[in-house]
Structure 1
Amino acid sequence: MPPDPLPPAGIVARVAAHALATPDALAVHDGRHDLTYAQLIANAAQLAQALRLRGIGPGSAVGLLVPHSVRAVVAQLAVWWAGGHYVPLDPDHPDERITMTLRETGAALTVGDPDLLADSPVAAAHALPLPPLPFPVLPRAAGAPAPVAEPAPYDPDATAYVLYTSGSTGRPKGVALTHRGAESMATGLPCDPLRPGDRMLFHSPMAFDAAAFEVWAPLAHGATVVVCATGRPAVEHLATEAAHLGADVVFLTTSLFHHLAARDSALFGLVRTVVTGGEELSGAHARRVLRLRPDLELVNAYGPTEATTFATAHRVHDADCAGAPPLGHPLPGAGAHVLDGRLRPVPRGATGELWLSGARLAAGYVAQPALTAERFVGPTPGDARRYRTGDLVSVRADGALVFHGRTDEQVKVRGHRVEPGEVEHVLLRHPGVREAVVVVRRTSVEDARLTAFVVPEAGARCDTVALRDHVSALLPAHLVPGTWVLTDGFPLTGSGKADRRALARDPLPPVRTGGRPGIGDRPAADGVAAPPPLSPVQRVVADAWSAALGRPVDRPDADFFALGGHSLLALTVVEDLRRDLGAETALAAFYADPTVAGHGALLEAALREELR
């Protein structure tokens, strides 16, 4: 018998091969719209033609400003079909951040939802609004390029997409991921193989590296992408969406996994596989889920964005859960090397720094050659190109990697990489700030809060609300501290530097004198009357907030996010009140007015609706 043919090279060719072999198989589904593989290819080719007419080809960067939808999947494939690479943009990011991203990547065209484009800093001349599906067949003018029947030639080393991560120098880092790395990520899975008919939930933010896994892994295997089209689903609504869409496989950031595990979420009874990663996994939470669902495939996956989402993985069993489960073994296309300070391998069981190699490595950082050379080393004669992770690990007897911390100050908060230096640089741009230190304080396994300690300039009027507004105007939400402390100085190490470990560990200092607010309180002007008492519904809201935030809440104008709240806590509060009161409130409405009074008004309206 002749040998089986080799699989086509590149994800685009794999998707096209599925369209030829099983044209009627379901490729993308969002609960309202479906695309078969044949329809996905047809729509991607049509959009690729429009992109080519706008000058997009090999080497072109294309911004993507699209909500979770079937069209988002088509748009990503179309950019690759035309030969370009995509740059996901988050509509919730500040305009300055979006403008910087487009400028640095050289994206002269942004494809997007018309409403999102209208509210963005993208000029109309550089925007391509997406029409409804199916995309129209474009008329061909005389001398215009022919319709795009075939995808651009496959170049494994070409950039496939660019994702931005936090930067320690105050400048975010654009990581250029290659087609070779994307294919390795999509085919060398951290979980059991995907098969036609399987459904993977696409719910991660587009600019988060797990989103690429959620889209390309199923499409590379002839499976189905099921799109969670809800912008910010509440905690248990994620289970509802998974049930509605028939999801079999789901990725959860570690923080979200911990929250769902603590609540015995119905999600774990709906899917066969949960891949989790982004932070150190709690053995207690993993054990709780596995004892609830012994047959669940629970995978602890590890990998920086620079290694195309995942580099190692470990199938978690009950026996792993006495402590933090290991990071596991390298995945196909990834190599792992544990080295000492002189770049020599350390003995098994000893702790060293983890370096990664292999096909999954990114090309480097966009427009930052010095940083690329510092973090991506090689190749040298007889050695492979390697990426320095900054993670400290050891190798246990069975070859699995065990995490021991960081060599630097980088931290993970709710799955996002946070370089405190980036936040500190932005804070120091405020004229009222003399010194700033940012750390992560953990109130529990489920809750990590970015905390800013600020020394104001002498005589400056500096309050926490103004500082939060300043940072929010320049940085994405996950980089905005939730807890603020104004102080006269920091504890110091023996070398005279701010003692970050003490700031992250020790009790918060008392609010400094001088009438300034601290730890997230709104400023109070002299002579202002005491706030009015809380109404009964507002008291219910305040009590729910107090339980989530771990601090008393007693003002109608108290702001959830100024008090240290964040997206996961908001999900929890909305879900707790839904469970206790039977009142459905939209998370987007909560974000629009995140005060006790605003949340109380939402609850009152929902309760009135229930009584009709």
Structure 2
Amino acid sequence: MRPDAAAVPRLIHHAVTRQARLHPDSCAVIDGPLRVSYDTLDRAADAYAADLAAAGVRAGDLVPVALPRGARLIVALLAVLKCGAGYATLDVARPAGQLRRSVEQLGARVGIGRPLAEHAAAVWCPPEEPLAETAAGASQPIEADVDEHAVAAVFFTSGTTGAPKAVASPHRAAMRLFVPAPLPGYGPGRTMVQAAPVGWDAFTLEVWGPLITGGTCAIAGGGGLLPDELRELIDEAGARTLWLTSALFNLFVDEDLDAFTGLETVYTGGEVLSPGHVRSFLDRHPGIALFNGYGPVESCGFATTHRIRPADCDNPAGIPIGSPVPGTGVHLADGEIYLTGAGLATGYLNNPAENAARFTTLATAAGAERAYRTGDRAEVDADGVWHFRGRTDRQVKIAGHRVEPAGIEAVARTAPGVRHCAAVPVPGPGGAPDRLALFYTAAATAAESTPAALRGHLQQQLPRPWVPAVLHPLPALPTTANGKVDHAALLALLRATPARSTS
């Protein structure tokens, strides 16, 4: 029996089914020329779920999914949830060894997608027929006995700070962002771009956010979103809401500031925002609501958001990360952010040491609560607005002095012409960092952003031990698959090319 359309849903698939009952003919997914209605999406997922159950998927299972980005992928994920299982969406381009380790970590009975044929005990592949035909043949929906605490998705961290961790995220972590009241930019008639890597928690914002709230998910091509494609999605798919990491946001502002025209809501974040890029955006697009979104994958999507105003660009401490989203507690203990509430992951799979280190119990006004230690430092002002102050674990010792790379980056971003930057500790012969390198991008016409000029700027505002030994201008900072600055690639570049400035 399908959930009551009048009831407040607590599970992701129940929320989608509710929208299918209320607005069956509304467009749920746009995938190139394909338009998929809510009714087709929901009933096709029912058909897939019946096949998955026959293949052996049971409530509580964790199902690896290796399918190309597209409408069929979304239907498959919805089917997994209808079975009462959770999914882990894996990049089909990942090396075979990584796929195998992920499947093993999930303890999967059944995998979805041909790339998993060598790694999972059983593999199911969606039929090639059109989704409308699949929907027409759907039988009675499956009703699995799970609640909002059940794992909906597993996200694998990038592994840039060690071995990738498998973060198990429950239904309620996603639902809190959209029910009963959705975040700005979501709801009926709102179309959001889906361009983030499919295995990242931003995928939740881009897919389940629209589908939970009766909006539309417009899928970008698989090669990474570029300004020209964004223009097409705005013009042809009616895209009005967008999420970009701060590095990609900066790239779009630098390359094609007018590509945002037609959007109504833009979310950015993942790293400290560049006030210069934000100011350029706000000057050109005063009618677009721009939000800074903060939150680790362990608190799915966002923990805080902040509607950015022009005055925020003049804040010497940087653009605020804002106020807690619904269902989320943000607390400060010894200068570090702790998160509580419905957004928290159930933990890391098969990793008791990390669970013990990162998930703890915190005494709050509501009593003793389960909390996640973010490793982020912050301050909260008198208005209850939170301000990011760097990472606790980025602090390093250089020649006996404690140095905070985030503080160096904040000062460097105030230098004339500097657009984006990353301060990276450089390992010495013994493995410990013995100097810092600052990589940065600058406006092509900014003569004042030469390494020598930037060094002078830093020397005027930073303690001497904090001034990087190496200043290295680049056309653009390399990014990981998740759109964050790739520190490992920067170090490799430093080893491969002579430094532009040392002293």
Alpha-carbon distance between aligned partners in 1 of 2:373 and 2:77, rounded to the nearest angstrom? 29
- 1:356 maps to 2:339: yes
- 1:326 maps to 2:301: no
Name 1:149's counterpart in structure 2.
Answer: 141
Task: Please report how far the alpha carbon of residue 236 of structure 1 lies from its aligned counterpart in structure 2 after TM superposition.
Answer: 3.2
Equivalent residue for 2:475, pick from 534, 548, 557: 548
Name 1:370's counterpart in structure 2.
Answer: 353
Kept in 2, the 8 Å contact 1:258–1:282? The answer is yes
Name 1:485's counterpart in structure 2.
Answer: none
Alpha-carbon distance between aligned partners in 2 of 1:150 and 1:329, rounded to the nearest angstrom? 39
Q: Report the AA paired with residue 335 of structure 1.
A: G
Name 2:104's counterpart in structure 1.
Answer: 103
Equivalent residue for 2:124, pick from 114, 120, 128: 128
Equivalent residue for 1:337, pick from 331, 342, 360: 331
Name 2:433's counterpart in structure 1.
Answer: 498
Q: SS of 2:293's equivalent?
A: strand
Provide Cα deviations, 1:330-369, integer angstroms capped at 9, x if missing partner.
00010011111xxxxxxxxxxx111111111110110012
Alpha-carbon distance between aligned partners in 1 of 2:382 and 2:269, rounded to the nearest angstrom? 23
Name 1:265's counterpart in structure 2.
Answer: 257
Name 2:169's counterpart in structure 1.
Answer: 177
Kept in 1, the 8 Å contact 2:173–2:342? The answer is yes
Provide Cα deviations, 1:365-419, integer angstroms capped at 9, x if missing partner.
10012211221112779311111111000011211000110110399xxxxxxxx
Alpha-carbon distance between aligned partners in 2 of 1:375 and 1:29, rounded to the nearest angstrom? 39
- 1:234 maps to 2:226: yes
Q: SS of 1:392's equivalent?
A: strand
Q: SS of 2:314's equivalent?
A: coil
- 1:401 maps to 2:401: no
Q: SS of 1:100's equivalent?
A: helix
Task: Please report how far the alpha carbon of residue 215 of structure 1 lies from its aligned counterpart in structure 2 after TM superposition.
Answer: 0.5
Name 2:69's counterpart in structure 1.
Answer: 68
Alpha-carbon distance between aligned partners in 2 of 1:353 and 1:224, rounded to the nearest angstrom? 37
Q: SS of 1:288's equivalent?
A: helix
Equivalent residue for 1:383, pick from 368, 373, 379: 368
Provide Cα deviations, 1:172-231, integer angstroms capped at 9, x if missing partner.
111100011121134377842523121011111101110111001111111111111342
Q: SS of 1:15's equivalent?
A: helix
- Within-5 A mapping of 1:524-603: 548=475
Task: Please report how far the alpha carbon of residue 60 of structure 1 lies from its aligned counterpart in structure 2 after TM superposition.
Answer: 0.8
Kept in 2, the 8 Å contact 1:23–1:36? The answer is yes
- 1:248 maps to 2:259: no
Describe the shift of the 1:168–1:237 C-alpha distance in structure 2 as closer, same or farther (beyond 3 A): closer
- Bigger drift between 311-320 and 160-169 goes to 160-169
Provide Cα deviations, 1:460-481, integer angstroms capped at 9, x if missing partner.
xxxxxxxxxxxxxxxxxxxxxx
Provide Cα deviations, 1:475-517, integer angstroms capped at 9, x if missing partner.
xxxxxxxxxxxxx567xxxxxx5346468863449xxxxxxxx
Q: SS of 1:356's equivalent?
A: strand
Q: SS of 2:390's equivalent?
A: strand
Provide Cα deviations, 1:101-160, integer angstroms capped at 9, x if missing partner.
111111232212x4xx2xx6734753222222327669x9xxxxx955144234111111
Kept in 1, the 8 Å contact 2:57–2:109? The answer is no
CA-atom RMSD in angstroms: 3.3
Alpha-carbon distance between aligned partners in 2 of 1:160 and 1:84, rounded to the nearest angstrom? 7
Alpha-carbon distance between aligned partners in 1 of 2:31 and 2:268, rounded to the nearest angstrom? 22
Find the structure with the greater CA-based Rg. Answer: 1
Kept in 1, the 8 Å contact 2:320–2:386? The answer is yes
Name 2:35's counterpart in structure 1.
Answer: 34
Alpha-carbon distance between aligned partners in 2 of 1:200 and 1:110, rounded to the nearest angstrom? 28
Give TM-score scaled by structure 2 length. 0.77
Q: SS of 1:194's equivalent?
A: coil
Provide Cα deviations, 1:417-461, integer angstroms capped at 9, x if missing partner.
xxxxxxxxxxxxxxxxxxxxxx99979765557979577xxxxxx
Q: Report the AA paired with residue 475 of structure 2.
A: A
- Bigger drift between 62-71 and 327-336 goes to 62-71
Describe the shift of the 1:547–1:333 C-alpha distance in structure 2 as closer, same or farther (beyond 3 A): closer
Alpha-carbon distance between aligned partners in 1 of 2:232 and 2:67, rounded to the nearest angstrom? 23
Equivalent residue for 1:221, pick from 199, 204, 213: 213
Q: Report the AA paired with residue 59 of structure 2.
A: P
Name 1:203's counterpart in structure 2.
Answer: 195
Alpha-carbon distance between aligned partners in 1 of 2:183 and 2:150, rounded to the nearest angstrom? 27
Q: Report the AA paired with residue 388 of structure 1.
A: R
Describe the shift of the 1:5–1:32 C-alpha distance in structure 2 as closer, same or farther (beyond 3 A): closer
Kept in 2, the 8 Å contact 1:99–1:121? The answer is no
Percent identity over paired residues = 35
Describe the shift of the 1:331–1:506 C-alpha distance in structure 2 as closer, same or farther (beyond 3 A): same
Describe the shift of the 1:161–1:282 C-alpha distance in structure 2 as closer, same or farther (beyond 3 A): same
Q: SS of 2:49's equivalent?
A: helix
Alpha-carbon distance between aligned partners in 1 of 2:421 and 2:67, rounded to the nearest angstrom? 29
Alpha-carbon distance between aligned partners in 1 of 2:187 and 2:299, rounded to the nearest angstrom? 24
Alpha-carbon distance between aligned partners in 1 of 2:480 and 2:161, rounded to the nearest angstrom? 26
Structure (1 or 2) with the greater strand fraction: 2
Alpha-carbon distance between aligned partners in 1 of 2:395 and 2:149, rounded to the nearest angstrom? 29
Kept in 2, the 8 Å contact 1:189–1:331? The answer is no
Provide Cα deviations, 1:272-312, integer angstroms capped at 9, x if missing partner.
00011100111221111111011110000100000012000
Kept in 1, the 8 Å contact 2:103–2:119? The answer is no
Q: How many residues align?
A: 430
Task: Please report how far the alpha carbon of residue 162 of structure 1 lies from its aligned counterpart in structure 2 after TM superposition.
Answer: 0.4
Q: Report the AA paired with residue 302 of structure 1.
A: Y
Unaligned segments of structure 2, at least 5 residues: 397-404, 440-466, 484-503
Describe the shift of the 1:311–1:271 C-alpha distance in structure 2 as closer, same or farther (beyond 3 A): same
- Bigger drift between 26-35 and 325-334 goes to 26-35
- Within-5 A mapping of 1:307-322: 307-322=299-314
Describe the shift of the 1:109–1:186 C-alpha distance in structure 2 as closer, same or farther (beyond 3 A): farther
Describe the shift of the 1:153–1:448 C-alpha distance in structure 2 as closer, same or farther (beyond 3 A): farther
Q: Report the AA paired with residue 343 of structure 2.
A: R
Q: SS of 1:338's equivalent?
A: strand
Task: Please report how far the alpha carbon of residue 261 of structure 1 lies from its aligned counterpart in structure 2 after TM superposition.
Answer: 1.5
Task: Please report how far the alpha carbon of residue 92 of structure 1 lies from its aligned counterpart in structure 2 after TM superposition.
Answer: 2.9
Describe the shift of the 1:148–1:373 C-alpha distance in structure 2 as closer, same or farther (beyond 3 A): farther
Alpha-carbon distance between aligned partners in 1 of 2:52 and 2:331, rounded to the nearest angstrom? 42
